[in-house]
Amino acid sequence: MKRILTAAVLLAISVAVLAKDPQGPKKVSVLGDSYSALAGIIPEGYAPYYPNEACEVVEQSQMWWQIICDKCGFEIEKVNAWSGSALCNTGYGAYNPTSAFIGRTSLLGNPDIILICGGTNDSWGRSPIGDYKYRNWNDEELGCFRPAMVKLLKDLRKNYRKAQIIFVLNSDLSYDIDHSVLKVCAKYKVPVVELHDISKTYDHPNKEGMQQFADQVIPFIKK
């Protein structure tokens, strides 16, 4: 009987060892705007939005991406977020390729999961929509949302072939932005989390909203 129990214990230990990921926790990178931009975590020279006392979000543990990592046992690889940035090169009437999402796709490290939260400033800043074009873009075209959206996903697919990519789409954006994101993501088989009922202060997630944000993204992540 003792031998049987010993064998059972050894078997359970072996199963536990095999089940553990030999490469460690999955790494998460974020490509975003103000909704993700925490000072001290984003690259130097980028514009942050948090910590923000009005939103009651004042530390890293309250950010939506950190909540996801804490709940799922992941680690942050890179948070490449720039407050006020558009996905395309044009936002709020200015041509700004430096902060645009499409200029930052190579700066995400070596992630297993990429979470994109964008399109908000393209909608708020009335970026040109443009036409769907899938290659050979010129500067004028990359100042428009649809060509930039295509380039964004093509570049991410090329640069991070093994990473799971998820697009997080804010609520209350223009029809053209919503429809364009859904269409391009469907083409490249990128899941879209359509945020809803997020608590906000001055149009940005507050402490409660960050938790709601994370809770809506988690079901879309392959664990």
- The reply to whether 119 falls in a domain is yes
Q: What does the pLDDT read at residue 222?
A: 85
Distance CA 156, CA 103 (A): 11
- The reply to whether 9 falls in a domain is no
- The reply to whether 10 falls in a domain is no
Domain of residue 59: give its range: 23-220
Percent share of the chain, pLDDT over 70? 90
Cα 55–Cα 69–Cα 111 angle in degrees, nearest 5: 115
Mean pLDDT of 182-191: 98
206 in Cβ contact with 177 (< 8 Å): no
Distance CA 119, CA 146 (A): 11
- The reply to whether 13 falls in a domain is no
23 pLDDT tier (thresholds 50, 70, 90): confident
- Residue 172 in tokens: 């209350």
CATH number of the domain within which 45 lies: 3.40.50.1110
> Count of domains in the chain?
1
- The reply to whether 131 falls in a domain is yes
What are 203-217's pLDDT values in tens digits? 999 999 999 999 999
- The reply to whether 182 falls in a domain is yes
- The reply to whether 88 falls in a domain is yes
- The reply to whether 14 falls in a domain is no
Q: Are strands 90-91 and 94-95 parallel, antiparallel or unpaired?
A: antiparallel
Q: What does the pLDDT read at residue 18?
A: 34
Q: What is the DSSP string of 18-67?
A: HHS-TT-S-EEEEEESGGG-BTTTSPTTSPP-BSBTTTTB-SGGGSHHHH
64 pLDDT tier (thresholds 50, 70, 90): very high
